[in-house]
Amino acid sequence: MTLRIIGGSSHKQFTKAVCAHLGIEETKSTSVVFSNDNRFLTIDEPVRGDDVFVIQTQAPPVDAHIVELLIYIRALRDASAGRITAVMPYMPYSRSDKKNQPRIAITARLLADLLQSAGANRALIMDMHAPQIQGFFSFPCDHLIGAPDIVRHLKETWNLENYCLVAGDAGAAKMLKHFADGLNLPIAIMDKRRDKNDETVLIKGVIGDVRGKHALIIDDETQSGGTLIKDAEFLLQTAGTLSVDACVIHPALGPRASERLNASPINRIITTDTIPTGEHHLNHHEVVSVTKKFAECIQRIHNDESIKSLNDII
């Protein structure tokens, strides 16, 4: 099967970089929206029997990009593609992963079902919000983690003397292990509660010794920046840390998020490039690209090779 890459409208720069790492051209396609807000899409090259990877991440407008991904997959299936893989650097609705309130939908599971109904044969995702999401798929789902790339970046460019790693909440504690193993730094966990469906949190304290240390907050994503800022303020004002930096895998920034973060006591922010930051301009923002990792993973999947070592911390 011939390897092919198609990029949706959400993150063209990401697709271009993946293709460059693979040394191939993106398969031509056309996606337009009519005046009635309906989308029309064509695959402009033959793909019969080919191994096609469709790259689409969460980016505004999220729902429109989901529909575009589903149409791409269906068009490829109807064009007799041999295998279709949905590549979602950041999976939309991944935070809707459990039924913790009455009469709500587990939307991450719904999206997995929609991908299968459209005709996808497998999925490739980085740093899911919760590990159980991988089990929502009824076909193979490969999971990459961004920690090895960020750990490498930190080792090469930062002075980490007297640093400690701080999990943004209890849910990020497992994720923190990858960083702690790679950097050999002490860890702490923010104790906070979220009682409503908004982005308001209540910080109860911090579990671990952070006094007199430089703190690096680790989390999988940030939206408004509000939680990161409250964590930083608590660490500096109450817990006695010397400074605060932050690292989030997915920069899912909403309106005014960059403005809030730039005015916050957080010194430096590290993210990957799984989501385009667009008009958001963060001060002291360090971007660790994971396009090479995705390219290598796609190549290994195409060649039926193991991807396990891609997640190893070196």
- Could you tell me whether strands 202-207 and 187-193 are parallel, antiparallel, or unpaired per DSSP bridges? antiparallel
Burial of 292 by CB count in 10 Å (0-12 exposed, 13-18 middle, 19+ buried)? middle
Q: Token match 């009519």: residue?
A: 34
Tokens for 109, please give them. Answer: 């599971």
What burial letters (b/e) apply to 208-224, b meaning 16+ CB within 10 Å?
Answer: bebeebbbbbbbbbbbb
Residue with tokens 């068009």: 75
Whether the CB-CB separation of 232 and 246 falls below 8 Å is answered with yes
In the set 16, 99, 192, 230, the catalytic residue is: 192
Alpha-carbon Rg for the chain, nearest whole angstrom, is 20
Question: How many CB atoms within 10 Å of residue 3?
Answer: 16
Per DSSP (E only), the strands in 80-167 are: 83-88, 122-126, 141-144, 163-167
* 192 annotated active-site: yes
Q: Where does the chain have alpha helices with state H?
A: 12-22, 62-78, 107-118, 147-157, 173-183, 226-237, 257-262, 291-302
Q: Is the four-CA dihedral 121, 124, 129, 131 of positive or negative sign?
A: positive
Active site residues: 192
